[in-house]
Amino acid sequence: MPSAKTGDGGSIAYAKLGEGPIPVLFLHGWLVSGTFWQLVAEALPPDRCTSFLPDLRGTGFSFQPETGYTLDRFAEDMIGLLSEEKTFTGKWIVVGHGFGALVAQRLATIYARRIGGLVLFSPFPMAGLKPAGEWGELLGEVACGQSQAGTVFPRLFAKPPSQEELDILLEDAESASPLSRKAVWDISMAGGDGTKLAKVRAPTLVVASGKDALVSPDTARMEVAGKISGTRFEIWDDLGHFAPLEAPGRVSERIHTFISGLAAAG
């Protein structure tokens, strides 16, 4: 598995699929790793796209430092990956889910010259998540290790997931360091500097899920799509927060259509 060096002496591991000229960077969300995107990436045409599935710091096969869990550092790690892949001189398509979509937004503001498009599924907003009541308390307990991730994963699907789907997610969650679990949740709640989002010029697609218990369509519309000029916004009524797991073929097809639209626009 290839890896890219980070600015603080670590390394980010990533899978690489396909041999196409268009580089597509997939950023996973909280409590999972790069394998979250496996089925979606495999469905993209390998002769057209090269997909990169990194494990964000603190997860999977990437390093698990005791410090450095900030939104800027997560984005800078991805700059290191893009710089490592010197074969690709054109702009990258960045696809993010949940927290990964938050990292994608930050990446687009600090490395705009290399980002040619953003596709954001159930994106965490720069204004920060605000889960309320019992749901918010439970998520906080999971972040602190006081409750197991298995208590929240089923609630993030539109329909009850299979045991196989749950097992994959739980294995991912167990691979994440306790520090990263807590830090990523804290970042997700606090958000980041959203003042520069208005300057993002990369074509952007935001997809919300109608049965998402974590990021409502209203939040995705107002706090993400509404902050980036010219963003296309869609709601997929029948899916939950884990749309890329629930409907990987549909997600992959939409990403491919988005990329084709960019090429047609020239």
Question: Please, which residues have CB within 8 angstroms of residue 175's CB and are 6 or more apart in sequence?
Answer: 33, 59, 60
The reported pLDDT for the residue numbered 147 is: 87
> pLDDT tens for residues 6-35?
999 999 999 999 999 999 999 999 999 999
3-state secondary structure 191-207: CCCCCCHHHCCCCEEEE
The reported pLDDT for the residue numbered 172 is: 87
- Reduced to 3 states (helix: H, G, I; strand: E, B; else coil), residue 120 is strand
The reported pLDDT for the residue numbered 266 is: 61
Partners of 117 in beta bridges: 93
The rounded distance, in Å, linking the Cα atoms of 233 and 204 is 9
The rounded distance, in Å, linking the Cα atoms of 147 and 188 is 18
The rounded distance, in Å, linking the Cα atoms of 182 and 141 is 9
pTM over 0.95? The answer is yes
Spatial strand order of the sheet with 3-5 comes to: 3-5, 11-17, 49-54, 22-27, 92-97, 115-121, 204-209, 232-236
The reported pLDDT for the residue numbered 160 is: 92
The rounded distance, in Å, linking the Cα atoms of 56 and 31 is 10
What are the C-alpha distances in Å from 22 to residues 90, 116, 136, 204, 239? 8, 10, 39, 16, 28
- pLDDT < 70 regions, the chain: 266
The widest CA-to-CA distance across the chain, in whole angstroms, is 51
> pLDDT tens for residues 63-72?
999 999 999 9
> pLDDT tens for residues 68-109?
999 999 999 999 999 999 999 889 999 999 999 999 999 999
First to last CA, the chain: 34
- Cβ-based neighbour number of residue 68 at 10 Å: 21
